Amino acid sequence: MSLSSNTHTLVDRFGRTVDYLRISITDRCDFRCIYCMSEEMTFLPRAQILTLEELAFIAKAFTELGVKKIRITGGEPLVRRGALSLLQEIGGMESLRELVITTNGSRLEEMAVSLKAAGVKRVNISLDTLDKEKFKEITRTGDLNKVLRGIEAAKKAGFERIKLNAVILKNRNHQEVGDLVQYAVDNKIDISFIEEMPLGVVDHERAEDYYSSASIKSDLADKFELIAISDNTGGPSVYYQVVGTSTRVGFISPHSANFCSTCNRVRLTVEGQLLLCLGNEHSVDLKRVIRANPGNLDKLKESIIQAMQIKPEKHEFNLQEQPIILRHMNATGG
């Protein structure tokens, strides 16, 4: 089959079809969330990161290989200059069904309307607390009110779906899970709770902060009736409907649930590394491929197809040990 045809699909050794790509378009961020970064971070020099053109070129190869959904993330994707034009370009790619974005919300107030116009269908917005002081503690540099105004702007812009992402840490924000769900219900949006993942060394002990999805679920049971629904994204999320509302609550539990057998996704870092698994180091250097073969889409596609052969069967995270994954989440593309 010609690699130029649009009928190729990406299948790994375990028979899993990869049709979802997450692209980190920057490792930089205007926040310094305690679970994601250490206070002092060194970011990549410009020469080391993919240009906007290179990012679009790789996205094109993936869509031609059957990828139907692309999530743009970071770092904070909306701090990259030119992010909007990149989104427009990817949003217009033939055969892509869904362009979605994950953001900390700091720039949504200004950008929500343009993002919708660029073809972004759904937005995930990180929000770990509704308490101004705690928000500052967790994000170190963020402004809660600005993010809340960003969420309002996203609602007005009319995305198909808005979902909040909350990383829950014991004794920092675990007491707030009920308030966060109530906020989602009041705003007719969805929310997912995420267990902290040991990616990179940060400034606290991961094991001490661990708060399980099971604990969150039992905390919520006092106030909300949740029924399991079958929304399956092929990822680590398990969804529930809040009875009597339009809100869905997701639990992303990398520690307590095994979702690897249905994994349908790969990640591209802004350095051009194709990561085959969030919890393993298996990767292929696509920047090297495109810089050695400028403009050669077939060569790039060949490398992507070959990369499927090293997608690991599953990940192992261990909170008690030093992280085996040295990259931070901002470099990984959460």
Looking only at the bridges linking them, the beta strands covering 273-275 and 283-285 are antiparallel
**196 interface partner picked from ligand SAM, ligand SF4, none, CB below 5 to 8 A per type:** ligand SAM
Question: For residues 162 and 156, is the Cβ–Cβ distance under 8 A?
Answer: no
The single residue among 26, 63, 103, 273 that binds ligand SAM, judged by CB under 6 A, is: 103
Strands (E), 157-233: 161-168, 190-195, 226-228
Ranges within 122-151 binding ligand SF4 (CB under 6 A):
126
How many CB atoms are located within 10 Å of the residue 242 CB? 21
Tokens of 12: 């790994």
The single residue among 20, 25, 26, 35 that binds ligand SAM, judged by CB under 6 A, is: 35
Task: Specify the residue, 226 or 329, whose C-beta has the smaller distance to ligand SAM.
Answer: 329
Ranges within 154-173 binding ligand SAM (CB under 6 A):
165, 167
CB 36, min distance to ligand SF4, A: 3
The single residue among 19, 89, 190, 196 that binds ligand SAM, judged by CB under 6 A, is: 196
Ranges within 40-79 binding ligand SAM (CB under 6 A):
73-74, 76
The string of DSSP codes covering 180-227 is HHHHHHHTT-EEEEEE---BS--SS-HHHHB--HHHHHHHHHTT--EE
Picking from 277, 273, 274, the residue whose alpha carbon sits closest to that of residue 313 is 277
Candidate segments 71-79, 172-180, 205-213, 222-230, binder of ligand SF4 by CB under 6 A: 71-79
Between CA 107 and CA 213 the distance in angstroms is: 29
Question: For residues 280 and 312, is the Cβ–Cβ distance under 8 A?
Answer: yes
Task: Specify the residue, 76 or 190, whose C-beta has the smaller distance to ligand SF4.
Answer: 76
Ranges within 304-333 binding ligand SF4 (CB under 6 A):
329-330
Ranges within 117-156 binding ligand SAM (CB under 6 A):
126
- 109-126 exposure pattern, b = at least 16 Cβ within 10 A, e = fewer: bebbeebbebbbbbbbbb
Does 34 participate in binding ligand SAM (rule CB under 6 A)? Answer: no
Does 185 participate in binding ligand SF4 (rule CB under 6 A)? Answer: no
List contacts with ligand SAM (CB under 6 A): 29, 35-36, 73-74, 76, 102-104, 126, 165, 167, 194, 196-197, 199, 329-330, 334
